[in-house]
Amino acid sequence: MKKRKYPKDEIITFKSANEMPPLAVSLGSMRWNKTGSWRYIRPIYENKTPPCDEACPAGEDVEGVQYLCEQGKFEDAWKLILEEHPFPGVQGRVCYHPCEEACNRGHYDEAISIHAVERFVGDYGLNHGLIPPRLSQERGHKKSEKIAIIGAGPAGLVCAYHLARMGYTPLVLEAHPVPGGILRVGIPSYRLPKDILEAEIEHIIKMGVDIQTDSRVDRDLLLKDLKDFNAIYVATGAHESRNLNVPGEDASGVMSGLQFLIDLNLGKKIAIGKKVAVIGGGNTAMDTARSVLRLGSEVVVVYRRSRAEMPAIPAEVEEAEHEGIPIHFLATPIRVITDQERVVQMECVKMELGEPDESGRRRPVPVEGSNFIMDVETVFTAIGESPQLSFLTEDIQTEWGSIVVSDHGETSKKGIFAGGDAVDQPRTVAHAIGSGKVAAIAIDTFLRGKDTAKIAASVQIGQKGSVSMERYLRGEIRYNASKVVRFEDINLAYFEHKDRVDLPRADIEKAKQSFVEVNSGLPESAVTTESGRCFNCGVCNMCENCWVFCPDISISRKTDAFGYDIDYDHCKGCGICVEECPREAMSLEEEQK
């Protein structure tokens, strides 16, 4: 066998037939032949946004977490979540996980158990005493501006967390005796154990955030004490229960469901009757009903619409029913009947669904003559909460009981920002976290004199308003964030059907007798298996398909980093790499000529 003796990248021109081999054989290289000039479409190697990432209001790199968990890199997964917010343990328990709804795998067999994986990662971080990732000295150097955050709920704490990472020393003022907001005083501990929440808040405090509890902010304090603050973030939540507006509502046995939960969570003694009705279909109603059950009373939920319209997380409704709580759909109280100022009965009317209202849900209409009476001793109202905003000055615009803010959390008053349940946005922890991040970016850009709108736009994930703090703080433009991968973009030939791993079902009889956490988490092996089901939509995981399939050897592995390079001098644009990429990390673009 002859050894090569010709230079690699030069055209070999023989002077005579005698010098030539008898056949077309590569004595040199064909690289001189720039076949890339034949191309009219080009493959683009570029990560895109997975639908789970776009759907996450908290802006988590959901796919990235699955990628790391599949390899058992739980510490890295924890740190990846901590780039976005400090609450994986909390969110792994209370999030309504819209990511799973968006998961492309759901169109194939079942969505990834993202929620359960997050809980595992959160617990892993706490159990292993992990420390949140630090920023570089350059990015996180100490800054002198004074920032006040009103409200130590998820929005306020997430905002404080990120500002502290950036080098600020925010002051957080909390009205309750403990930080955590609705997470601490609203959500019962069987859903979110207090130690998990406290441990994650501890991370924030350790970063230098000063949380002053029992510090309710009134207008006086706002105008005087916070006068010389460079920025204020209002994240006071929505704690005012709406009234039923029915006769007898003022009786002592009619109470706010949320107030009941707050008292319960702060360890206060609450007297309730043996027969309890909870009015409403949201998470507060479910939490109230299940807490009442645990206190040993009989409880029924009364909701004026049908199951489909319930605003509560479906899993919470399911668990309430599983615990044996009856839900009376399509009924509403019209009168609370008292005897010697004690509630004894409640008169209700049956409803039917009419035309859709402004919320898009079908409006409940009373059915004439369908009145019925229920025996009750305590009635909890949980038909919605509104923010308490009387402390705000008039120059901060409000509308329909919420603070009016821009897309970046700016109120009508310069230097004042707002978020969480106090503004008009879905009342979820995930949205509160998202708004805390948006505000942290807006406050930082405001204080540093940068173009907030432009910068905020550059850190968007997909089209639904989620932002990437990792991108904002670390400046990594890793992908085409605006392109969200669809199910049709996935090459299913590379994925086998596999059952989803769900959280193990708790022993209900035991669970409903105490406030101990109902659900246990997934074991480690289940987490790696479950994360392994992830399509990794739009994000290259170096499966090597493009490299293996390229007929022109025009794709090579990067020598110094993760990923591939495309040799456009020789790529003919056949598109095989795009077709064979299981996850749309390769896409085609028309050649601009």
Partner 1 sequence: MKKVITGNYAVSYGAMVSRSQVIAAYPITPQTQIVELLSEFCADGLLDAKFIKVESEHSAMASCIGASATGARAFTATSAHGLALMHELLHWAALGRLPIVLANVNRAMGPGWSIWTDQNDSLSQRDTGWLQFYCESNQEILDTIIQGFKISEQILLPTMLVLDAFFLSHTSEPVDIPDIEVVDTYLPKYNATYRLSTENPYAFGGLTGPDHYFEIRYKMQETMDQAIEIARQADEEFERIFGRSHGLIERYYSDDAELILVVSGSIASTTRDVVDQLRSEGRNVGMLKVRMFRPFPRQEFRNAVRRAKKVAVIDRNICVGFGGIFYQEITSTMYGHRDDLPIFGFIAGLGGRDVTPNVIHEIVTHAETHDTPDTEIIWIGVKR
Residues at the interface with partner 1 (CB under 8 A): 1-4, 13-14, 16-17, 20-27, 30, 33
Closest approach of partner 1 to the CB of residue 36, in Å: 14
Sequence-separated (6 or more) residues with CB below 8 Å from residue 308: none
Nearest approach, Cβ of residue 570 and partner 1 (Å) = 12
Query: Which is closer to partner 1, CB of 1 or CB of 271?
Result: 1
CB nearer to partner 1: give 31 or 139.
31
Question: Among residues 12 and 457, whose Cβ is nearest to partner 1?
Answer: 12
- Name which of 13 and 390 has its Cβ closer to partner 1: 13
Q: How far is the CB of 23 from partner 1 (least distance, A)?
A: 4
Q: What angle do CA 478, 142, 126 make, to 5 degrees?
A: 65
- Nearest approach in angstroms of CB 19 to partner 1 is 9
Q: How far is the CB of 196 from partner 1 (least distance, A)?
A: 56
Q: Of 12 and 223, which has the nearer Cβ to partner 1?
A: 12
- Sequential DSSP letters for 302-322: E-SS-GGG--S-HHHHHHHHH
CA 159 to CA 407: how far, in whole Å?
Answer: 15
CB-wise, 4 or 268, nearer to partner 1? Answer: 4
Cβ–Cβ under 8 Å, residues 103 and 111: yes
Question: Cα(462)–Cα(588) distance, rounded to whole angstroms?
Answer: 19
- Pick from 230, 271, 236: nearest CA to 445: 230
Q: What is the DSSP string of 45-68?
A: E-EEE-HHHHH-TT---HHHHHHH
* Least distance in angstroms from the C-beta of 13 to partner 1: 6
Q: Which residue has the tokens 């193990």?
A: 504
CA pair distance 551, 35, nearest whole angstrom: 12
CB 92 within 8 A of CB 119: yes
Instruction: Determine phi and psi for 351, rounding to 5 degrees.
Output: -120, 160
Bridge partners (DSSP) of residue 575 are: none
Inter-CA distances, 44 with 1, 190, 553, 580, 584, Å: 40, 48, 16, 13, 10
Query: How far lies 501's CA from each of 64, 93, 158, 192, 561, in Å?
Result: 19, 16, 30, 21, 33
Q: In this complex, which beta carbon is closest to partner 1, that of residue 30 or of residue 508? A: 30
| Calpha distance 49→67 (Å, rounded) | 14
CB of 26 to partner 1, least distance (A): 4
The CB-of-119 to partner 1 minimum distance in angstroms stands at 49
Instruction: Indicate the residue among 537 and 550 with the shorter CB distance to partner 1.
Output: 550
The nearer residue to partner 1, 22 or 360, going by C-beta atoms, is 22
Least distance to partner 1 from the beta carbon of 24, Å?
5
